[in-house]
Amino acid sequence: MPATTERGFSLVELAVVLTIVALLLGGALYTLSAQTEARNLGETERRLEQARELLLGFAVAHGRLPCPATLAAGNGDEAPAAGGACTAAYAGYLPARAIGFTPMDTSGYGLDVWGNRIRYAVSVNSNLAANVFTTTPASPSTGIKYNFNPSSGTNLRPQDLLICTAYGASGSTSTTPPSCGAVTDVPPGVAATNANTVVAVVWSQGRNFTTATFSGVSGQAGTDESFNNKTTTNSNHGVFVHHPPRPFSEANAYDDQMVWIPVGMLYGRLIAAGAVP
């Protein structure tokens, strides 16, 4: 019987095979991670849109927008419950219980897909009166209903909320009026809305909210996110920055997601429901 020889893989061949397998697995894991991230972004966007619709529904039912919830109240309801002068107009949270939003945590705060509490800000400074968008219409001169009447020339407008795609050196966070700055600034100031457009903002602070820190403040990864990281001591004003995401590898990373309610959209819903003249 002739002798037989057995030949195995050499170390070089094994190394090549293992390298190929590692590359294939790496590519598959990267694709899976990208798909998961895209799904998370899409689901959070859906939740923000749902919140916007529920806020508009609340306005139709009550003749006003709800006030934001606060952490101090600890119940995910609007503060104060009857509206009017909001406890935290800019640095608050979505009042999930008041508008019927889900999902929410055990304390009643609405959540994004990463389990972070969804934020909500509302205009409390208009060209006609303070707190008019959050006050229940009870008598002449109070509430949206009595301050919006285009046939008589009354033109109720918010004047304190502003969305910037970039904030310049000459920008202002004042409510009279706010500004994103000028395109000639370095860096340039670019506005996505004007100071009389936005009546409410709903936003998620993104996946990096629980891990990011910038300028000694947690919850923000850079200058742009710091505008949306609103607390009583940090960016407690009506100016926001919103633009496409920037990767975490960049110095000014950004992964916030945001929708807003233009005042025209609010009026359109109220007029269609017969809640304003």
What is the domain partition of the chain in residue ranges? 12-272
Amino acid at 81: A
| pLDDT tens digits for range 132-169 | 999 998 877 788 988 887 776 668 999 999 999 999 99
Residues (pLDDT < 50) of the chain are none
pLDDT for residue 2:
57
C-alpha distances out from residue 147 to 3, 84, 110, Å = 102, 15, 31
| pLDDT tens digits for range 28-41 | 666 767 777 889 89
259, 265 contact by CB (below 8 A): no
Query: Which pTM value belongs to this model?
Result: 0.87
pLDDT for residue 7:
60
The torsion angles phi and psi of 116, rounded to 5 degrees, stand at -85, 150
pLDDT for residue 6:
56
pLDDT for residue 26:
67
